[in-house]
Every structure is written in structure tokens, then in C-alpha cells.
Chain A
């Protein structure tokens, strides 16, 4: 195995070219996985597909845990003393009711969840075949993990369970996302995912002066949150994800909900903002005599590798060799749990794409070969000790 970054970079063009004959296998895996609906907590079919692929490729230690249903397998290394985790989340934001049919043109694949994260999962399913065709053997074992319960209320349940129960000490981790190529995540951003639920008492007196309804109250809450002072540095933002209330034109709505996410690169900022929002809704609840609750659905701490960490440096050089400008994007996904467990890790993207998490989500086919060459080069770098701090 090459043990300096330049030798690894030199191999990239040859690897990229050698990946082309595997295009149909990769794309078929992406589409067949993509056509299996996998809402968070309902990933069983995708996981079974992944497990079958691992079995067909003759991998070791294949297992699907009963709960939460992650699928794991190992490609044994020639030395096998250390383990590199390569993971991709299996769930999508789309429900079972959505038409998951994929369509292909000469250059693109379109369909719900194809980029986030059918392609990432397909890369995992295809990796054993890729390594065979490229005749690559690593010193380290590769642990391939399809993670369940990653998104939304799943709150990274799959990776958390894996890390709590895993018996293979992990040297490093790579989280694979379908899009976007060039993404380089090496830090987890502090995050809090919250849900505000509001309900008017059944005896609410609509005739009282100042009587209001759920829409008006929810609007007040949103305006109140928007008026909270947020620093621009360190980067902090509050994202309003969804609002639900009301049924018609003239019926007074009596309940409402708001989903939001706070993200910040500053230690303590997430908790500070959470407290301010809690104060705000308590004030509005008291004034309006309504029940308003704040539920924290998920919480992550800020942390991660330094920009100068050898793993981050290697990734920047690999992307440079592929003539791709890296864009730094802190993660709220599996990476944050790996970082919390002190496992040096990054998240990367495989190809370019559009309309992420929309019904017409689309990926570009050709850049995928750059994305896969990048992944192999990074595994090579970790395996060769180049990414050790």
C-alpha cells in the first residue's frame, strides 16, 4: 500500500478510469435501493437489500442488528489489526406513499432520495466489487455500515447504537453522502432540533378582548424567535423547518406546531438560544392562557478535527488532485457521533446534484467517478497511516 500522499494522488487517474466499467453496477444499486422506500424508522427493505449485496460479495461478519436495524459487514484487511469505518445513512425524508420510481437519462438519475442518500448507500454496496476490480487490498479491515434512524426524530439512533455496541476499535471513520461532491465536513456543528406544540384549552373564551387563535400565536412565536439576536461569528443560525396548523378558511385553529433547528459553531450558543426560545414561549403561553411546549428532538455538541488535521489535509489534497474546490460544511449527521466518540472522521460527497430532498432530486452520473476515486484515495491515505495525527 502506498504510504505517502503523492503516490496515492498519482493513482487517482488510473482508479478513476478503472471505475468506469462498474458504472452500471453502481447505478443499478443506487436505483434499486432508491426505489425501496426508507422513511426514518422504516428502512428494513433497504437494509435487507444491502445485507444481500454483502452476502453475495462474500463479506465477513455480516449482521443486521435487531433494533435499530443497522447492517454491518467487514472486508478483512491483509493485516487486520485496525478498522476503518465507512458508513452511509439508509433513511430518507420521503414517506412510503411517495412514488419512488427513478428515471435515468444519459447524464442524470432523478428520483426522491437518489442523492440523499441512495447513492451513498449504493457506494457501500458496490465498494467490495470496486476493490476487487481495482485489485486493491488494504492492511486495515473495512467496516461497512448502513445506518438506520439517522434523520429527524431518528436522531442518529443507528450510529449511536453501533458505537455503543461495536467490538471493533475504529481507527477512523468516513461518512458517505451522495451529494455534494467537494463537500468536506470534519467538524460537527452544535445543533438543537426542537418542536413547539401549541394547543388552546377546550374552554377557551373566543369572545374575550385579545382572544387569539393558533395561527396568530404561532406567528408571534416565529416573530419572537426572529427578533432574538444571533451572532454572525461564530456562525449561528435558526432554521424554521415546518409549520402545521389549521384546516380551512374560517375555522379557528386550536392547535399548531413548529419545527426548527438551531445550529452554531460556538460552544454554549445553542443552549443559550434554546433558553431564550423557552422564555419566549413561556411568556406567550402565560399571556394567551394556552399550552405551549418545547420538545428537544435532537441535540449535538460542537466539535471536530482541526483544519490542519492530517486527515483533513489529505482530503484537501485529494480534492485538489481531482480539480475540485472543497467547500467546508459542518455536519449534523453521523460525523457528529463519530467525533463525539473521538474517532477522527470526515463526511464526503460523491457527485453533484440538484433539488436535494425534493421529489425531483437529481444526481449527475459522470462526476460520481471522481467521487469514488476520492473515497478510495482517502481509504488508502488512512490505511497508509497518512491521516494519523
Chain B
């Protein structure tokens, strides 16, 4: 079976909870929504040796989202121990800068981006915390407005993920759409098998997301590669698919990682995933193996789940086939 069969719930979620950043172009309206709900918003940029891109992020976010429109109440760079001038450049443009090891010193210091994200919950005061990676070359206010907008629109939305990149355009206007290599090779197959609804997230590993504090303070944080995967699984098992939203931020230009680096990342993510399977008591109670693989295609700003049935059927060892045994004059095994 192959086609556009859409489970109703996922179909509805895609319609109501998938946005395009263009829907949040009016920053003044977002500020009004924020003030009406009495919310404070913090922005955290986790860094490690990002001197080439951090300056521009800070200048543009401070100018557009603090000076011109007071959408962001607080803005911090939390660093994992950069050896370059990341903190110097960030401070020169007025960002509050912190070393992760100096936050909550009693709990110690662990290496990894997840550590920065976790410590940001303690350091920052916002009701919503927005995380944006520091390596984005084409930074723009939409990287914030696009992911905080859905939370300001709908109080039930707790966690909004960014997605990007629609590079392949077909003559029909329909194009393949999805995440990076690790998402498409590892995460999407795993989600399709064990948490099929989560395959509706187009880029579950994107480093840009906005989350309500009430969620962040109740979920554990792997400190390494698995933090995004763990978040999604934990939020999903506790609050369901409706807690999520996702927003198309168009193109994101960043450094490309080598296959070796992606292998390391996949290893870390797989550890996190299997840990979650244990934690949810799923290891010995695996659900019936799903056979539908879910990918995306996009037409204009509309995304559709493309389902493909993949059944990994098997043949027995040839030595159990009587015709084979007869031909070669050997005794058949049962």
C-alpha cells in the first residue's frame, strides 16, 4: 500500500499545529499577545566556539526583538567552555553571558549542549524559554517569532519545534520535505515503528524550539546528542501530540557535519531512545511492529504525510526446503 492515507488525528494536528513563520510577521501583535497573557519570554543561545556567527545573532535579535519590539524580556548566551572569542563577541554586543559551569555549581559541570539548555531553566526567568542554536549563518527574527508565535496563539501548545529546508522542487510543485540525515535515517524510522504519531514532526532534531517553563522544569535533560529526542518522547508520553506545534522557518544555513560526526550523534541518540524504551517499560512489551513508514511531502505551505507500507518479510534457510535437499542429496532440517 502506498499513498496519502492520513490518520485523522495526525491530519488534524498537521492542519492546526503546523505553521509558517509568515503567519507571525506582525511582531507587535505577538508583543500584545504576550502582554495580554502576562508572560515573560527568555531567549537562550547555547554556544561552544561560535565566534563567527554569534555576533550577528545577538545584534539582530537585540535590535528586532528587544529594542524595536519588546518581545524578548531576557537574552542570555550560555557557553560550554569556548576556546575562541565567542563570549567576548557576545558581551561586546550587550548579551548576558554565562559559563554553564558557573550556573548551579553544586550540581557540577557536564559537557554537552543539553547541560546548557538545562541550566538555562535555572538561570533565566521567562515563562517561555526559546532556544536558538548559535551556528545559523542566515539568522533572522523569524527564528524566534516563528517558534514562539504558536505558544502565544494557543495556551494548550507547550512545545514548538522549528523546521526548515525544502530544497527539492518538482515540476508539479510537490516536493519531498523532511529533516537532516540523522532524522531521515534514524529518528523517523524509529518513530514510525514505535511512536507513529511523532512521525508527524518534520524535523524533530532541529535546534530551535520554544517551551513553556511548566514543561521544562518537569522533564529530564540528557546533556548530549539525545536531548531533543528525549524531550519529544517525554513531552509526548506525558502531554500527547496536541502539546506540540511546529513552524516552517524556510531556509537555515549552517555548517554541514561530516558523516563521522553524524554517526557519533546517532549513537548518542540511540542510547537516549533505548533508555526511554526502558523507562516507559516498553523493552519487553514492544508494541506490534508497525509497517507504515511516514515521510513528508509539501505543496506550497501545506504538508502531507506520505505513508508507505514496508513489510520486511523473510524466507527460511534453504536447508529447510525439501526440493533443495532433494537436489543436493542432503537431509532437510525442520
- Bound-complex Cα distance A24 to B141 (A): 13
Closest to B63 in A: A28
Q: How near does chain B come to A252, taking the closest CB pair, in angstroms? A: 40
Q: Assess the B92–A106 pair: CB atoms within 8 A.
A: yes
A 86-103 binary contact with B (CB < 8 Å = 1; else 0): 000000000000000111
B 122-156 binary contact with A (CB < 8 Å = 1; else 0): 00000000000000011010000000000000000
Residues on A with C-beta less than 8 A from B253 are 101
Let me know if B52 is at the binding interface, CB within 8 A. Answer: yes
Stretch from B54-62, B103-111, B242-250 forming part of the interface with A: B54-62
Question: Which of the listed residues A56, A104, A105 has the most CB atoms from chain B within 10 Å of its own CB?
Answer: A104
Q: Assess the B89–A105 pair: CB atoms within 8 A.
A: yes
Residues on A with C-beta less than 8 A from B67 are 24-25
Q: Assess the A24–B63 pair: CB atoms within 8 A.
A: yes
Contacting B55 at CB < 8 Å: which of A32, A35, A101, A104? A104
Closest to B68 in A: A25
With A24-B67, A27-B63 as given contacts, are A104 and B89 in contact (CB-CB < 8 Å)?
A: yes
- Bound-complex Cα distance A236 to B128 (A): 64
- Bound-complex Cα distance A32 to B68 (A): 14
Contacting B56 at CB < 8 Å: which of A23, A25, A29, A103? A103
Contacting A101 at CB < 8 Å: which of B88, B92, B138? B138
A 1-45 binary contact with B (CB < 8 Å = 1; else 0): 000000000000000000000011101110110010000000000
The A-contacting residues of B in range 44-76, CB under 8 angstroms, are: 51-53, 55-56, 58-60, 62-64, 67-68
Q: Assess the A35–B138 pair: CB atoms within 8 A.
A: yes
Closest to B28 in A: A56
The B-contacting residues of A in range 114-172, CB under 8 angstroms, are: none
Q: How near does chain A come to B287, taking the closest CB pair, in angstroms? A: 45
Q: Assess the B138–A31 pair: CB atoms within 8 A.
A: no
Let me know if B280 is at the binding interface, CB within 8 A. Answer: no
Q: Assess the A106–B85 pair: CB atoms within 8 A.
A: yes
Q: Assess the A103–B55 pair: CB atoms within 8 A.
A: yes
Q: Assess the B59–A24 pair: CB atoms within 8 A.
A: yes
- Bound-complex Cα distance A23 to B60 (A): 11
Q: How near does chain B come to A54, taking the closest CB pair, in angstroms? A: 14
Q: Assess the A24–B93 pair: CB atoms within 8 A.
A: yes
Q: Assess the A28–B137 pair: CB atoms within 8 A.
A: no
Q: How near does chain A come to B79, taking the closest CB pair, in angstroms? A: 16
Closest to A35 in B: B138
Q: How many residues of B contact A (CB 8 A)?
A: 23
Q: How many residues of A contact B (CB 8 A)?
A: 16
Let me know if B94 is at the binding interface, CB within 8 A. Answer: yes
With A24-B63, A25-B63, A25-B68 as given contacts, are A104 and B56 in contact (CB-CB < 8 Å)?
A: yes
Q: Assess the A105–B63 pair: CB atoms within 8 A.
A: no
Q: How near does chain A come to B330, taking the closest CB pair, in angstroms? A: 66
With A24-B67, A24-B94, A32-B140 as given contacts, are A103 and B52 in contact (CB-CB < 8 Å)?
A: yes
Question: Which of the listed residues B60, B93, B138 has the most CB atoms from chain A within 10 Å of its own CB?
Answer: B60
Residues on A with C-beta less than 8 A from B58 are 24
Contacting B59 at CB < 8 Å: which of A35, A101, A104? A104
- Bound-complex Cα distance A304 to B249 (A): 49
Q: Assess the A105–B60 pair: CB atoms within 8 A.
A: no
A 35-73 binary contact with B (CB < 8 Å = 1; else 0): 100000000000000000000100000000000000000
Contacting B62 at CB < 8 Å: which of A24, A32, A56? A24
Residues on B with C-beta less than 8 A from A23 are 93
With A24-B63, A28-B63, A32-B140 as given contacts, are A103 and B53 in contact (CB-CB < 8 Å)?
A: yes
Q: Assess the A28–B89 pair: CB atoms within 8 A.
A: no
With A24-B67, A25-B67, A31-B59 as given contacts, are A106 and B89 in contact (CB-CB < 8 Å)?
A: yes
Q: Assess the A105–B51 pair: CB atoms within 8 A.
A: yes
Q: Assess the A106–B68 pair: CB atoms within 8 A.
A: no
Q: Assess the B55–A28 pair: CB atoms within 8 A.
A: no
Q: Assess the A28–B59 pair: CB atoms within 8 A.
A: yes
Closest to A52 in B: B25
The A-contacting residues of B in range 83-113, CB under 8 angstroms, are: 85, 88-89, 92-94
Q: Assess the B52–A106 pair: CB atoms within 8 A.
A: no
A contact residues vs B (CB 8 Å cutoff): 23-25, 27-29, 31-32, 35, 56, 101-106
A-B contact pairs, 30 of them (CB 8 A): A23-B93, A24-B58, A24-B59, A24-B63, A25-B63, A25-B67, A25-B68, A27-B59, A27-B63, A28-B59, A28-B62, A29-B63, A31-B56, A32-B140, A35-B138, A101-B137, A101-B138, A102-B56, A103-B52, A103-B55, A103-B56, A104-B55, A104-B56, A104-B59, A104-B89, A104-B93, A105-B51, A105-B89, A106-B55, A106-B85
Q: 14 more A-B contacts (CB under 8 A) besides A24-B94, A101-B138?
A: A24-B63, A27-B63, A28-B59, A28-B60, A29-B63, A31-B60, A32-B140, A101-B253, A103-B55, A104-B59, A104-B93, A105-B51, A105-B85, A106-B88
Nearest 6 Cβ contacts at the A-B interface: A104-B55, A28-B63, A24-B63, A106-B92, A24-B62, A25-B63
